Structure 1
C-alpha cells in the first residue's frame, strides 16, 4: 500500500486537480506503475527473535538507568529498595546478554559480521549486534544508501540560491541509538577528532 499523500503529490505534479473515483483509480494505477518496488530481504525468524532479545535488553538497561537516577537523594529505605531492584535488573541483563551471545555464535555469518563491527572504536559486542541484525543490507549497498537507511544522512533543503539547513530524518532508530552509544564512548574515552566535536556540542 502507498501513502495516499504521495498519490496526491503525484497528481499535483501532473497538474491533475479534478478528483472522483474514476480519476482516482486511474491515478493510483499510473502512480503504482511508475514506482520501482524496493528490494526486500527475506524474513529470518531467528534474527527477528534475536532482535527482540536485544530490544528487551535495551529496555532493561534504560529502566536500570531510571532507577539509579531515582535512587540519588532518595531516603535510605527507598535507596535500599531501588538498589535491590537495580541488582535484579543487572542480573536479568546479564542473562539476556549471555543468550544473545549464544545465538550470535550459533550463526557463523552473523558472528563474523558482529566481530567485524567490533573492530571499530567504541563498538562493544551488544552494540555491534544491533546493526548486524537490523541492517541486513550491510555490505550490500553504498555508504550513502546505508546512511539514509539508518537515518543519519542529512538531507538537502535547497531552492535556487537558497541553502536551507540540513536535517536527518527517518531511518532505523535502534541502529542509530547503537551508533550513538559507540560514538559517545569514543568521544569521552579517546583522543580522536570526535572528542573535539563532542566538546563543541556541549
Structure 2
C-alpha cells in the first residue's frame, strides 16, 4: 500500500467544495477515498522512532516552560502566601526543565550526525543551543529541500490574497508552531543584537514603516532560508 499523510482540514475543505455538508462515517469514507485518489501528498521525511521520541521530549520541555511563565505572571500581585506557593511550583518546574534538557542533550550527543547539525546551526546569529536543538529535531527536512518549501513548511511564507486589481494583505498560515516559536526567538535576537543580513532586513523594513510583527516575520523567513542553505 502507498501511504500518504494529509492535513485533515484539507479533506473538510474538499467536502465543502463538493457541496457535501452532511457528515457521518459512510460519507467520510467516500470523501476520503475520493480526495486521496485525486491528490498527491508532498514528499516528507520518513518517521524515525528515535527522532520522534526526542521530539516528544522537546515538546514536553516547551510545555513546562510555558507553564512556568504562566505561574510567574500569576505570582505578580498575588497575596504573600500565594506567591510563596507559586514560587515553590516555579522552582519545581525549573528543576524538571533542567532534567529534560540534560536528557535531550545526552541523546543528541549520542547521535553524531544530529549533534553536528545542532553545532552547525549554532554558528548562525541568534541561534542558541535550545533553538538549534529544536530546529534540528522538529525540522529534519532542513537542508534537504528548497528555501521556498522550507519557509512554507515552517509557516512563515506570506500568501497572496488578491482578486483582480485588488491587492489584499499577505498573511502567513499553517506550518509547525513549535518550530516557528523557536525561529521567532532566534530572528528577534539576530535582528536586534547582532550584525549581518538579518539586521539589514530588519532595518530596511522598519525604515519603510512596516509593523514590528511584519518585520520580524520577514526576518524569520530570511533566517530559515539561510539556515536551510547552510545545512544543504
State the TM-score, normalized to the length of structure 1.
Answer: 0.78
CA spacing shift, 1:101–1:30, aligned 2, 3 Å: closer
**Larger of the two Rg values belongs to structure:** 1
C-alpha displacement of 1:80 = 1.7
Match of 2:20 in 1: 16
Tell me the C-alpha RMSD between the 2 structures. Answer: 5.2
Preserved contact between residue 6 and residue 41 of structure 2 (Cα < 8 Å): no
Shift of 1:18: 16
Structure 1 gap ranges (5+): none
- Does residue 174 of the first structure (1) align with residue 178 of the second (2)? yes
The Cα shift of 1:40 comes to 3.1
Once the two structures are TM-superposed, the CA of residue 142 in structure 1 deviates from its matched residue by: 0.6
The 3 A distance-change label for structure 1 pair 197 and 70 is: farther
* Counterparts of 2:16 and 2:87, CA distance in 1: 59
Give the CA deviation at 1:37: 3.5
Relative CO higher for 1 or 2, CA cutoff 8 Å, sep ≥ 6? 2
> Residues 95-114 of structure 1, C-alpha deviation per residue, up to 9 Å, x if partnerless?
11010101111111111111
Deviation of 1:87 (Å): 1.2
Question: How far off its partner does 1:36 sit?
Answer: 2.9
Tell me, in whole angstroms, the C-alpha distance in 2 between the residues paired with 1:28 and 1:105.
42
How many Å apart are 1:27 and its aligned residue? 9.7
2:57 counterpart of 1:53 = yes
1:186, distance to aligned residue in structure 2 (A): 3.3
- Would the alpha carbon gap of residues 183 and 21 (structure 1) be closer, same or farther in structure 2, given more than 3 Å must change? closer
C-alpha spacing 1:193/1:42, structure 2 compared with 1 (3 Å): closer
Deviations 1:169-188 (Å, cap 9, x if unpaired)?
A: 10111100110121233345
Deviation, 1:25, is: 11
TM-score by length of 2: 0.69
